[in-house]
Structure 1
Amino acid sequence: MSSIVPSSSSPSKCNAVLVQHINAPISIVWSIVQQFDKPQVYKRFVQSCSMISGDGGIGTVREIHIISGLPAAISIEQLLDILDDNFHVVSFSIIGGDHHLSNYRSIMSLQEKNGEPEKTIVREFFTVDVPIGSTKEDCLSFICNLIKWNHESLAQVFERMVSTSLG
């Protein structure tokens, strides 16, 4: 299950919260999500990732090479001040690249589904400046689709793990 909740903001800002339910325990989902150096495990648009500086902790900077077909080839991202193993929260900002995502910030949190410890709720909030020449609606649609694609891919990683262990 996936849902999108647009947030109200200024005309020059675009933001929303996306929610995805995953049939896997929070500890297993977190083990994948918190690996800042391996986004390609569940982000299908990532061709490769290399660390520019840092050790994967707070302040680490990575360079992501994007698959062809998207309107960018490189994105440079910095792991911000949130990497919390207790509350399962990670946050990053895009600080460079050949795309139009200015002042992009993402905060992802994981929560165990009430009464169902084998299920996880993923929430991802993002905010970004609306690019010049684009509309807020187009910006929202583009980024929400990318994040939704990432969340669906994350869920599929665990479905494959379960089917492999059963089969």
Structure 2
Amino acid sequence: MAKVLVNTAVCGVGEEDKLSGGGDRRDRTLREEREIERERRRRRKRRWRGLEGGGRRWCCNQASGGSRTMEEEYVRRHHSHEPGDNQCSSTLVKHIRAPAHLVWSLVRQFDQPQKYKPFVSRCVAQGDLEIGSVREVNVKSGLPATTSTERLEQLDDNEHVLSVKIVGGDHRLRNYCSIITVHPMVIDGRPGTLVIESFVVDVPEGNTKDETCYFVEAFIKCNLKSLADVCEQLVEKAKQPDA
């Protein structure tokens, strides 16, 4: 059984309050105000959203009000997961300094995820690239899995939406389904891309929702960072004059 640790200071109750049966009300108010301000700073840094409800949360980059509104609209439109009681869900955001058509050209390649996913060593897709197609993915050694069987759920070249569901493999990610969307934006006056990836997955026995989300998010963050690196390198290479 997972242990729940409660930080009494965060709850607004300090050690002096517990010993004295309440302490000085004014001091307690000051402590509460300091904790509230610290919590606000933590939230601004991490940008977690929805941690208390249904195992769903949202991690995004620092963004201005207009960008945040745009991101929230894309999430509402395309990333509508409904996690069950024993599931967790999360949404991550990445800004890439490369045009959306370039980013999408990599993301949409269901049969070649290794072009930007660093943990994939080999991929064999069965049949044509269409809804219901299945791919067998080999994972690089050193990870808690070697294979993953994945099915293409959605591929929309107009809206730039790709959805994949894991249907087998020697890992613990059961009923895992991800959605990744690609959206054009302007970054520092140049064409850029907003990439949003979300998922829902069962919580394995012996793990908590937070542990499961943290594990999956770590992989997605690596994938999105690699996607940004590959695309931005292609942009820089295109700027170079022909030899």
Scaled by the length of structure 2, the TM-score of the pair is 0.63
Pick the aligned partner of 1:65 from 130, 138, 143. 138
Work out which of the residue numbers 17, 21, 25 in structure 1 matches 2:91. 17
Q: Which is worse superposed, 116-125 or 91-100?
A: 116-125
Do structure 1's residue 125 and structure 2's residue 198 form an aligned pair?
Answer: yes
1:104-148: CA deviations, max 9, x gaps?
000111111168671110001100000111111111111001001
Given candidates 73, 96, 116, the residue that maps to 2:168 is 96
2:104 to 30, 34, 57: 30
Residue 58 of structure 1: SS of its match in structure 2? Answer: coil
Q: Which runs of 5+ in 2 are unaligned?
A: 1-45, 55-83
Residues 15 and 6 of structure 1, relative CA distance in 2, 3 Å threshold = farther
- How many pairs does the alignment contain? 164
Q: Residues 51-94 of structure 1, C-alpha deviation per residue, up to 9 Å, x if partnerless? A: 1x2212211100000001110000000001x1100000010100
Q: Which has the higher strand share?
A: 1
User: How far apart in 2 are the matches of 1:24 and 1:91?
Assistant: 22
In structure 1, runs of 5+ residues without a counterpart are: none
Note the 1:48-87 alignment, pairs <5 A: 48-51=122-125, 53-80=126-153, 82-87=154-159
> Any idea what SS the aligned residue of 2:196 has?
strand
Higher share of residues assigned helix: 2
Q: 1:46 is aligned with what amino acid?
A: V
Residues 3, 28 of structure 1: alpha-carbon distance in 2 compared, 3 angstrom cutoff: farther
**Contact 2:120-2:137 within 8 A present in 1 as well:** yes
**Superposed displacement of residue 166, structure 1:** 3.2
**TM-aligned CA deviation for residue 11 of structure 1:** 4.5
Measure, in 2, the Cα distance between the counterparts of 1:19 and 1:143. 14
Instruction: Give deviations 1:32-61, integer Å, cap 9, x for gaps.
Output: 10000100011000010001x221221110
CA 1:111/1:137 → structure 2, altered by over 3 Å: closer, same or farther?
same
The equivalences for 1:32-47 within 5 A come to: 32-47=106-121
Structure with max Cα Rg? 2
SS of the residue aligned with 2:199? strand
1:122 counterpart SS class = strand
